[in-house]
Amino acid sequence: MLYQTLVDIYEKLNATSKRLEKTSILSAFLKNLQDNDVEQVILLLQGIVFPIWDERRLGIADKLVIHAINIATGKSPEFIEQKWKELGDIGDVSANCVQKKTQATLFSNELTLSKVFTNMQQLVSFTGEGTVDKKTALVAELLTNATSSQAKYIARTALGDLRIGLGDGTLRDSIVWACFSQQIGLVYNQAENDVKLDEEQRKKYNEYTNLVQSAYDKTTDFSLVLEKARKGEEALKKITITPGLPLNVMLYQKAQNIADAFATVGQPASIEYKYDGFRLQIHKIKEKILLFTRRLENVTSQFPDISKEAKLAINATNAILEAEIVGYDISSGKYLPFQNISMRIQRKHDIESTAAKYPVHIILFDLLYLDGRDCTVLHYHDRTELLAGICAQSKTFYLAQKIITSDEKEAAEFYNKSLLNGNEGVMMKNLSSPYQPGSRVGYGVKVKSVMDALDVVIVGAEWGEGKRSKWLSSFVIACKNKDEYPAIGRVGTGFKEKAEEGTAFAEMTELLKPHIKPQEGREVQIKPAIVIEVHYEEIQQSPSTAAGYALRFPRFVRLRPDRRPEDASTLAEIQKLFTQQRGRTKNI
């Protein structure tokens, strides 16, 4: 397949903001793909060349791409930098420079999809001296043979920011449309931008959507899902949990208090300590251990200590376990707040010494797969029994503390005990529920000491004034609603002036800089990428925010590098909290 065919799709997707139209464009394209193009196309549509859970990342710097544009087009670095300032996006700069190539290329070879894909993948294969030059040459080679529009997407793919507005939801729906529209009787009316479905068709549509979503949640691999869906419903249904492929984790709803929690999960319930660390999927495949965060990042290299423990402690050939990883203070043995180990997640150097300095406990709370058996379909009670049976507990590797009770008083005592032990609260879980990957279904709820905490995404900010002019401040925060991130206000307090005191404005600015959208003036928009936890006093209805709600007195508490923007608190949750809060006030 020619790369241009994919570029045409990028451009078409970019040209419309209508989700149904995007779905229609993409589904027609996916339907007619050759089998051997599926994997590369699906990855490149997501702007990546390695699956999300692969340890390999392109990690290409702006400078390298600028140099490659210089080699490919003969434009001077100064000219390219100037254009970058004007246009704000290196993809657009690349397109602009290629349009005006000054070095005549005698033999322009038309780029194929696999040539682009292979060159991109090769970018990670070099180490040692000359690495930067070799990488630059690979990107330059592509740009030399590219048309203007191809150059735009080559640069953006190298930098890992495609900017075509394609979310997971649209990709999933496109697979449903591409493979099952006949079964559903689905026809897209472009003039009206609508699909008309009667009740029966709607039911079928939902069934197929759930089927595709469930296959994705079990494997987080859209290439695999499309490959099977193209073969038909039966092939798709056979997709199952596979050690090595991280699953989308089950999420827990928030309960107001213990009575509310019992009302959701039933009585008796299992009540576990809610440890304040980060969630980890531990995959054991014979002698190999793979570790994934809930963002599906492969962090195996960062935690050799966990792999070592897991190999010794898990008595199974193949298994997938879930654990909370908590840092502890070496001298006092006490748990440390999440921030203290969060830096281990991104660590690339000095891994062993950091592991020794910031040791962790591995606290297991679920079992999702065991020696050929998909355990997610089992009841919580059976899963945790099996888990206890296969794990040799040690000082650092153990099962979450829990009780099973129907009694509110006993539950409240356990909750207090959990807080006294330095935890965040408790998790309350329905004893006979399955594990549903990827959803927040209410099979378990969290009861936290701080009720009014939300995970929000930063989508904008303001450059400061005077001595703060190098820093971003007054961050616009947003919740998640389907594929969108509507704002729920601004947060400016809780950040520190100096790094020694905690998360400082300077650190926030560095984190956010790569995600700033090109813009004039002090006010900037920011691509949803960074998740933070905020506390607040109250939720108010507000006509002036995109979400229709605003937080009163929001305060930054901590960064959440273990969360993706998709994991942020949802608009529906905020609506629920708003009504619960009104209920609370009424009762007083």
Contacting residues toward ligand AMP, per CB under 6 A: 252, 272-275, 279, 324, 365, 400, 427, 446
Rank residues 218 and 279 by Cβ distance to ligand AMP and give the closer one.
279
C-beta separation of 443 from 430 below 8 A: yes
Whole-number Å distance between alpha carbons of 181 and 576:
35
CA distances from 352 to 69, 310, 328, 394 (A): 39, 17, 16, 21
CA neighbor of 526 nearest in space, from 157, 161, 53 = 161
- Residue showing the smallest CB distance to ligand AMP in the complex: 279
Contact 251, 427 (CB under 8 A): no
Report the residue number, 120 or 427, with the smaller CB distance to ligand AMP.
Answer: 427
Tell me the residue length of the chain. 588
**How many C-alpha atoms does 106 have within 13 Å on its Cβ side?**
0
| Distance of closest approach, residue 529 Cβ to ligand AMP, in angstroms | 19
The smaller minimum CB distance to ligand AMP, of residues 318 and 569, is found at 569
Give the 3-state secondary structure of residue 448: strand
Name 328's Cβ contacts closer than 8 Å, sequence gap at least 6: 334, 335, 336, 359, 360, 361
Query: Closer to ligand AMP at the Cβ: 252 or 414?
Result: 252
CA–CA distance, 575 with 583 (Å, rounded to integer):
12
Q: Please state, in angstroms and rounded to a whole number, the distance separating the CA atoms of residues 519 and 292.
A: 36
- Residue 152 or residue 279: which is nearer to ligand AMP going by CB? 279
Closest CA to 323 of 391, 231, 256, 409: 391
Least distance (Å) from ligand AMP to the CB of residue 295? 11
Instruction: Tell me how far, at minimum, the Cβ of 509 lies from ligand AMP, in Å.
Output: 26
Residues 6+ apart with CB under 8 A from 325: 277, 278, 279, 280, 303, 306, 341, 360, 361, 362, 363
Name which of 72 and 557 has its Cβ closer to ligand AMP: 557
- Residue closest to 63 by CA, chosen among 76, 49, 81, 75: 81
Longest dimension (CA), the chain: 82
Task: Give residue for tokens 């609506």.
Answer: 575
For ligand AMP, which is the closer residue by CB, 116 or 363?
A: 363
CA distance 279 to 573: 21
Instruction: Using alpha carbons only, give the angle 532, 536, 540 rounded to the nearest 5 degrees.
Output: 115
Least distance to ligand AMP from the beta carbon of 250, Å? 9
CB nearer ligand AMP, residue 58 or residue 403: 403
Q: Using an 8 Å Cβ cutoff, are 328 and 289 in contact?
A: no
Q: What is the DSSP string of 92-130?
A: HHHHHHHHT--SPPS-PPPPBHHHHHHHHHHTTS--STT
| Matching residue, tokens 């007083």 | 588
For ligand AMP, the closer CB: 114 or 432: 432
Q: In angstroms, rounded to a whole number, what is the distance separating the alpha carbons of residues 393 and 397?
A: 5
Catalytic residue selected from 101, 135, 218, 274? 274
Tokens standing for residue 551: 């937080």
The CB-side HSE value for 191 (13 A sphere, CA atoms) comes to 0
Give min distance, CB of 314 to ligand AMP, in A.
18
Q: How far is the CB of 112 from ligand AMP (least distance, A)?
A: 42
Query: Minimum Å distance from CB 485 to ligand AMP?
Result: 18
**Which residue lies nearer to ligand AMP by CB, 173 or 322?**
322
Residues ≥6 apart with Cβ < 8 Å to 582: none
What is the smallest separation between the CB atom of 446 and ligand AMP, expressed in angstroms? Answer: 5
274 among known catalytic residues = yes
Minimum Å distance from CB 275 to ligand AMP? 4
Minimum CB distance to ligand AMP, residue 7 (Å): 39
H helix or E strand, kind and range, residue 289? strand 288-293
Residues annotated as catalytic are 274
